[in-house]
Amino acid sequence: MEKFSKIQSVAAPLPLINIDTDMIIPKQFLKTIKRSGLGKNLFDEMRYDDSGKELEDFILNKKAYRNANILITGDNFGCGSSREHAPWALIDFGIKVVISTSFADIFFNNCFKNGILPIKLEKEQRDELMNDAEKGSNAIITVDLVDQEITRPDGSIIGFEVDKFRKHCLLKGLDDIELTMKKIEKIDSFEKTYTAKSPWL
């Protein structure tokens, strides 16, 4: 998993509530177990028409937001089924930070495990950032995980909370597998000891 410390980017505003995981990545794209390649189908049913042509009005199809690394959304983002393909699609597109007032619990947890920083803010703060984002390429937002600060285009700062352990994992680029591998010597030692005590297993 890629290390995360600071992101400076245009933010894409998506002021819809209850965006579920089927909207993030529709079910027909869940056949793969690869984490790469899903970005092109992120928000597929909102980004394309039935013929596969881009819909000009959708925010990520607009020139100013095509390379956005930050997404600012409405309440209860990531609800619905627990598909891990949802954060896979976001990170493959290039979204590394999602800011909202609330997230579905499973999606929230999956974000951290896949290198995405989900940030919960009060509605007033989220709305301020949403307004900033709507200014397009002239409004650069900085998200600093080390200091737990969001710097708005006018220089004002919004602080945010993040679990200490999850922060450590993002800063070090540690997913569940990498965390396990850091303990491989202890695991090997346990297996040898256990096998010696219980050779019939």
Angle between helices 85-93 and 105-113 (to 10 degrees): 50
Amino acid 1: pLDDT: 86
Given a cut of 80, whether residue 100 has pLDDT beyond it is: yes
Domains of the chain: 6-174 (3.20.19.10)
Mean local confidence (pLDDT), 164-177: 89
Query: Taking 90 as the threshold, does the pLDDT of residue 157 lie above it?
Result: yes
C-alpha triplet 148, 154, 155: angle, nearest 5°: 40
- Comparing 170 with 81, which gets the higher pLDDT? 170
Residues 6+ apart with CB under 8 A from 90: 24, 39, 42, 71, 98, 111, 116
**pLDDT on residue 200:** 72
For residues 64-74, average pLDDT: 96
Give, rounded to a whole angstrom, the gap between the first and last alpha carbons of the chain.
35
pLDDT band at 201 (very low <50, low <70, confident <90, very high): low
Q: How far is CA 57 from CA 42, 60, 107, 130, 134, in A?
A: 15, 9, 27, 17, 13
For the cut 70, the answer to whether the pLDDT of residue 158 exceeds it is yes
User: pTM score > 0.75 for this model?
Assistant: yes
Residue 123 has pLDDT above 90, yes or no: yes
Average pLDDT, the chain: 92
Q: What is the pLDDT of residue 122?
A: 98
pLDDT digit string, tens, across residues 125-147: 999 999 999 999 889 999 999 99
Mean pLDDT of 17-32: 92
Contact 128, 156 (CB under 8 A): no
pLDDT at residue number 60 = 96
d(CA 130, CA 125): 9
Give the H/E segment covering residue 142: strand 140-144
Q: Comparing C-alpha atoms, which of 98, 124, 120 is closest to residue 21?
A: 98
Sequence letter at residue 91: I
Sign, CA torsion 44/24/37/138: positive
Contact of 70 with 95, CB cutoff 8 Å = yes
Per the CB < 8 A criterion, the answer to whether 13 and 66 are in contact is no
Residue type, 30: L
How is residue 69 written in tokens?
């690394």
